[in-house]
């Protein structure tokens, strides 16, 4: 496996120097006392309400660095942190200050300084981190804006035309439930319950894989196709992936729906929701756990035969721990196994060598916040300290909560960036509240489970924390992860406050046991680039591929299973099947698998009828081609829109067996990377549903650009004629609602 590693200590003990206590030290930076140092640069705070930095960004980068920050807004209405460390205080106050900036005049939460508006995943993750309780009204209004006119959760623009290629919209359900846990507002529960139920049932019909129980679509929030997938994968292939983080989100959404249903008295739906949540969780543990790596794999990918992408993916690993999909034993193993670079945990690891930094080769602080909280839950003290450092370093040096950072040098020179990023400031605030003070919400109570590393064991206070009409002043003394004493207004009790008993001012005093936390390791690694992806093709029965530099050997796969290793760049295929090749470096790091190449029985069936131009009342005039469409096969193609009659095609099956069916299509209704006009249809064989085919956007006006949908496995077909029907059904409604349109050319039927 990937073993190009080095060791660096996180100095967690109270080692005092002239500059103050050293909290974290890596080859990239150190946090000593009230100062962050990175090479020749440093940032510090003299008073807890300002930051001064000497950092200079990459020369020529479009975004300037602000070398200082001072509180500009009135923060007196928000919880005040009292701690001996002025740098910590300043970074916390920076989060509050930028949070105030993020509340728009219409009481919605702005995504970032450079990004106006409310985006479903951004605002939902921010709400889960800290905005549910820091800005409950803005959180509520923002979530309301992400419900469409049909009462469904909106999936914002994403690869190929949003949902169902981008499929993590259920983070809205989890965030909406968090707002209820904070407020206890029954009217809010009445609003969110049918939205969540309707959206989850549609997702179950459209993006859940019947064979594994996992969820299809993009990795949650990583919505630039080429940033996290091999270049050969088209957006229909992205829909076909089975993804860790998105599956975990859906499992938690069903769990949240079940708790909503219990409160609503809907026992039947509550039982259904609990069952669905468990099914997805079980599928994650069955199909994505990689025991050799001690991690969940990022996703399963391919065409007809899916294989694991063994990369570690930090958000998915973190959420699996936080939401109890990982057992406590696996949680500890994950925190010791997930690679941590000198700047912090990567979005995924290893990196893609020929792709610039953004999701690839990057650290995003809000993901780092989830990772730090997951380490706290698993009991990994060293992981928690390095997690704090990975957020404090960029906040201090850049004097703002930037969105993402280049893992090679810690700089902001990435494909896109912004200051005052909502989910990053929300993660900043969450670290203090949810780790050091251990604050968490349940449906009827506020619970406390502090995790205080020994290095941060000073007495710490949080003044003016709101909870259901009460104001809490919270003090935590000592260190450790076990509470020795918990008192409210001087009276000992269990470490929680019931919502119905939250009244006026409550003095909460927590004394930790100050016993050492059992040590766990951190998998400190140099940042690593994986080998380039081979390009393979068939020459007769021979699989051929281009040579890749610095490769130790190649692995050949047939139907998703490794059958050979070779140092050559050709391979004589022994039997019909779907073939791929993977390059493996000297240290064991694998490349992505090449595009699948078929050496199987294949039959093409043209669509009935003939057409030479696109004309549809649904399509705005600027999307119509000015000439007839080219590039189709045979006599023509059919045009599909929501009012089209079902398409029926007779196929001839040459011999009994299992067959993959896909369709050749064109969709010029929008760009590959944005908007929301992915076409969706249900495919039936002899009247029985076989599954969903998706026809993602292939470029605005690109009606001559043809590709294949995802393939559907139909088992047990008998020889002879069968009827394939392609039909628009209510569950096939996309995010655009008005435009659900594509051209379809032929069916491809391939024997398994």
Q: How far apart are CA 6 and CA 526, in angstroms?
A: 7
Task: Determine how β-strand 707-708 pairs with β-strand 577-585.
Answer: unpaired
Could you tell me which residues are beta bridge partners of residue 187?
none
Query: Quick one: 465 and 536 in the same domain?
Result: no
Per-residue confidence (pLDDT) for residue 602, from 0 to 100: 64
Closest CA to 745 of 717, 714, 703, 713: 703
Q: How far apart are CA 245 and CA 89, in angstroms?
A: 32
Per-residue confidence (pLDDT) for residue 63, from 0 to 100: 63
3-state class (DSSP) for residue 690:
strand
- Inside any domain, residue 409: no
Q: Which two tokens stand for residue 548?
A: 């890749």
Whether 3 shows a pLDDT value over 50: the answer reads: no
Domain holding 711: CATH number?
Answer: 2.60.120.260
Whether 64 shows a pLDDT value over 70: the answer reads: no
At 10, the pLDDT band (50, 70, 90 cuts) reads very low
> What average pLDDT score do residues 634-646 get?
88
- Inside any domain, residue 83: no
Instruction: Give me the domain span that covers residue 593.
Output: 531-599
Final residue before a domain boundary, out of 575, 599, 623: 599
Q: Which two tokens stand for residue 344?
A: 């912090």
130-156 pLDDT, tens per residue?
A: 999 999 999 999 999 999 999 999 999
Query: Quick one: 582 and 470 in the same domain?
Result: no
Query: Quick one: 678 and 716 in the same domain?
Result: yes
Helices marked H in 541-628: none
Q: How far apart are CA 166 and CA 615, in angstroms?
A: 28
Query: Quick one: 223 and 287 in the same domain?
Result: yes
For 265, residues 6+ apart whose C-beta sits below 8 A from its C-beta are none
Whether 8 shows a pLDDT value over 80: the answer reads: no
Indicate the angle between helix axes 314-322 and 328-337, nearest 10 degrees.
160
Q: Which two tokens stand for residue 262?
A: 């219990």
Task: Give residue for tokens 């591929």.
Answer: 545
Closest CA to 745 of 649, 626, 620, 672: 649
Per-residue confidence (pLDDT) for residue 632, from 0 to 100: 87
**CA distances (Å), 335 to each of 13, 327, 379, in order?**
20, 12, 9
Per-residue confidence (pLDDT) for residue 57, from 0 to 100: 73
- Inside any domain, residue 229: yes
At 615, the pLDDT band (50, 70, 90 cuts) reads very low
Whether 626 shows a pLDDT value over 60: the answer reads: no
Domain holding 545: CATH number?
Answer: 2.60.40.10
Mean pLDDT lowest among 55-59, 161-165, 531-535: 55-59
Per-residue confidence (pLDDT) for residue 587, from 0 to 100: 95
Query: Quick one: 556 and 673 in the same domain?
Result: no
Give the number of domains in the chain. 4
Per-residue confidence (pLDDT) for residue 19, from 0 to 100: 52
pLDDT > 70 in the chain, percent:
93
Task: Give residue for tokens 């960036």.
Answer: 417
**For residue 500, what is the DSSP state?**
G
3-state class (DSSP) for residue 200:
helix
Query: Quick one: 628 and 514 in the same domain?
Result: no
Q: How far apart are CA 111 and CA 10, in angstroms?
A: 33
Whether residue 5 contacts residue 526, with contact meaning beta carbons closer than 8 Å, is answered with yes
Final residue before a domain boundary, out of 264, 283, 310: 310
188-205 pLDDT, tens per residue?
A: 999 999 999 999 999 999
Query: Quick one: 501 and 574 in the same domain?
Result: no
**For residue 431, what is the DSSP state?**
I
- CA neighbours within 13 Å on the CB side: how many for 151? 10
Q: How far apart are CA 275 and CA 656, in angstroms?
A: 36
474-518 pLDDT, tens per residue?
A: 999 999 999 999 999 999 999 999 999 999 999 999 999 999 999
- Inside any domain, residue 24: no
DSSP structure string for 236-290? HHHHH-EEHHHHHHHHHHHHHHHHHHHHHT-HHHHHHHHHHHHHHHHHIIIIIEE
- Inside any domain, residue 50: no
Torsions phi, psi of 599, nearest 5? -125, 65
- Inside any domain, residue 214: yes
Domain holding 140: CATH number?
Answer: 1.50.10.10
Whether 5 shows a pLDDT value over 60: the answer reads: no
Whether 232 shows a pLDDT value over 80: the answer reads: yes
Final residue before a domain boundary, out of 584, 599, 614: 599
- Inside any domain, residue 496: yes
Q: How many C-beta neighbours within 10 Å does residue 653 have? A: 17
Most confident of 155-159, 430-434, 612-616, 635-639: 430-434
Whether 320 shows a pLDDT value over 50: the answer reads: yes
At 625, the pLDDT band (50, 70, 90 cuts) reads low
Query: Quick one: 232 and 176 in the same domain?
Result: yes
Q: How far apart are CA 68 and CA 57, in angstroms?
A: 14
Mean pLDDT lowest among 162-176, 543-557, 596-610, 723-737: 596-610
Query: Quick one: 137 and 213 in the same domain?
Result: yes
> What average pLDDT score do residues 710-716 get?
96
386-445 pLDDT, tens per residue?
A: 999 999 999 999 999 999 999 999 999 999 999 999 999 999 999 999 999 999 999 999
- Inside any domain, residue 81: no
Query: Quick one: 608 and 636 in the same domain?
Result: yes
CA 512 to chain centre: 34
Per-residue confidence (pLDDT) for residue 65, from 0 to 100: 76
> What average pLDDT score do residues 222-239 get?
95
Higher per-residue confidence, 616 vs 448: 448
Domain holding 480: CATH number?
Answer: 2.60.420.10
**Strand order in 551-558's β-sheet?**
561-566, 551-558, 577-585, 597-599
461-476 pLDDT, tens per residue?
A: 999 999 999 999 999 9
Q: 100-129 b/e with 16+ CB inside 10 Å = b?
A: bbbbeeeebbbbbbebeebbbbbbbbbbbb
Q: What is the mean pLDDT of the chain?
A: 93
Query: Quick one: 484 and 586 in the same domain?
Result: no
Per-residue confidence (pLDDT) for residue 620, from 0 to 100: 40
**For residue 103, what is the DSSP state?**
B
Task: Give residue for tokens 């109890």.
Answer: 324
For 547, residues 6+ apart whose C-beta sits below 8 A from its C-beta are 569
Task: Give residue for tokens 């690109």.
Answer: 702
Q: How far apart are CA 284 and CA 248, in angstroms?
A: 8
Query: Quick one: 747 and 679 in the same domain?
Result: yes
Whether 752 shows a pLDDT value over 80: the answer reads: yes
Peptide bond into 350 cis (omega under 30): yes
Q: How far apart are CA 467 and CA 131, in angstroms?
A: 13
């Amino acid at each position: 496996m990937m073993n190009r590693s080095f060791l660096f200590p996180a100095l967690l003990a109270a080692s005092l120097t002239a500059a103050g206590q050293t909290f974290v030290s890596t080859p990239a930076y150190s946090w000593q006392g009230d100062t962050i140092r990175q090479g020749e640069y440093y940032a510090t705070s003299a008073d807890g309400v300002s930051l001064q930095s000497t950092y200079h960004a990459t020369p020529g980068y479009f975004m300037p660095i602000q070398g200082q920050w001072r509180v500009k807004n009135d923060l007196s209405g928000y919880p005040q942190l009292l701690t001996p460390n002025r740098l910590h205080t300043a970074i916390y106050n920076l989060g509050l200050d930028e949070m105030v900036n993020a509340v728009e005049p219409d009481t919605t939460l702005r995504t970032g300084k450079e990004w106006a508006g409310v985006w479903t995943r951004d605002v939902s993750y921010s709400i889960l981190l800290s905005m549910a309780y820091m800005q409950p009204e803005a959180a509520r209004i923002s979530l309301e804006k992400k419900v469409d006119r049909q009462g469904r959760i909106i999936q914002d623009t994403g690869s190929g035309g949003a949902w169902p290629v981008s499929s993590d919209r259920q983070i809205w359900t989890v965030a909406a439930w968090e707002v209820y846990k904070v407020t206890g507002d029954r009217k809010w529960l009445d609003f969110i319950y049918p939205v969540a139920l309707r959206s989850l049932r549609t997702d179950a019909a459209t993006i859940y894989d019947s064979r594994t129980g996992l969820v299809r679509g993009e990795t949650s929030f990583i919505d630039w196709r080429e940033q996290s997938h091999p270049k050969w994968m088209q957006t229909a292939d992205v829909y076909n992936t089975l993804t860790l983080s998105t599956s975990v989100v859906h499992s938690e959404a069903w769990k949240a729906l079940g708790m909503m249903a219990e409160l609503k008295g809907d026992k039947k739906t509550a039982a259904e929701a609990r069952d669905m949540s468990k099914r997805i969780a079980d599928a994650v543990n069955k199909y994505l756990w990689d025991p050799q790596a001690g991690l969940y794999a990022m996703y399963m990918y391919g065409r007809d035969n899916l294989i694991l992408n063994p990369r570690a993916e930090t958000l998915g690993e973190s959420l699996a721990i936080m939401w109890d999909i990982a057992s406590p034993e696996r949680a500890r193993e994950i925190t010791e196994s997930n690679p941590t670079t000198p700047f912090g945990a990567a979005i995924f690891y290893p990196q893609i060598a020929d792709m610039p930094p953004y999701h690839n080769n990057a650290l995003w602080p809000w993901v780092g916040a989830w990772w730090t909280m997951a380490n706290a839950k698993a009991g990994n003290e060293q992981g928690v300290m390095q997690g704090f450092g990975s957020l404090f370093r960029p906040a201090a040096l850049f004097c703002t909560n930037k969105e993402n950072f280049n893992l090679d040098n810690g700089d902001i020179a990435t494909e896109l960036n912004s200051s005052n990023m909502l989910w990053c400031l929300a993660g900043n605030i969450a670290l203090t509240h949810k780790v050091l003070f251990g604050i968490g919400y349940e449906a009827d109570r506020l619970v406390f489970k502090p995790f205080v590393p020994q290095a941060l064991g000073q007495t710490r206070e949080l003044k003016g924390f709101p909870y259901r009409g009460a104001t809490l002043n919270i003090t935590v003394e000592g260190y450790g992860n076990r509470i020795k004493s918990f008192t409210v207004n001087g009276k000992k009790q269990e470490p929680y406050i019931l919502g119905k008993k939250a009244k006026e001012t409550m003095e909460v005093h927590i004394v930790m046991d100050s016993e050492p936390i059992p040590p766990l390791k951190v998998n400190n690694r140099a940042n690593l680039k994986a080998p380039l992806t081979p390009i393979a093709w068939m020459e007769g029965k021979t699989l051929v591929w281009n040579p890749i530099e610095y490769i130790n050997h190649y692995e050949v796969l047939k139907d998703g299973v490794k059958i050979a290793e070779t140092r050559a760049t050709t391979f004589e295929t022994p039997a019909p099947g779907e073939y791929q090749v993977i390059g493996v470096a000297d240290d064991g790091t694998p490349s992505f698998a090449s595009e699948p190449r078929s050496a199987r029985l294949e039959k093409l069936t043209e669509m009935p009828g003939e057409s030479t131009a696109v004309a549809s009342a649904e399509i705005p005039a600027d999307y119509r081609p000015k000439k007839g469409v080219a590039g189709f096969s045979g006599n023509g193609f059919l045009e599909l829109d929501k009012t089209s009659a079902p398409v029926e095609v007779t196929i001839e099956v040459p011999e009994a067996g299992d067959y993959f069916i896909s369709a050749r299509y064109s969709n010029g209704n929008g760009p590959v990377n944005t908007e929301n006009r992915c076409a969706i249809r249900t495919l039936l064989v002899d009247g029985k549903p076989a599954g969903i085919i998706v026809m993602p956007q292939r470029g605005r006006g690109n009606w001559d650009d043809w590709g294949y949908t995802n393939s559907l496995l139909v088992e047990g077909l008998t020889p002879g004629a069968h009827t394939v029907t392609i039909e628009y059904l209510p569950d096939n409604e996309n995010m655009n609602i008005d435009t659900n349109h594509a051209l379809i050319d032929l069916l491809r039927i391939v024997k398994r």
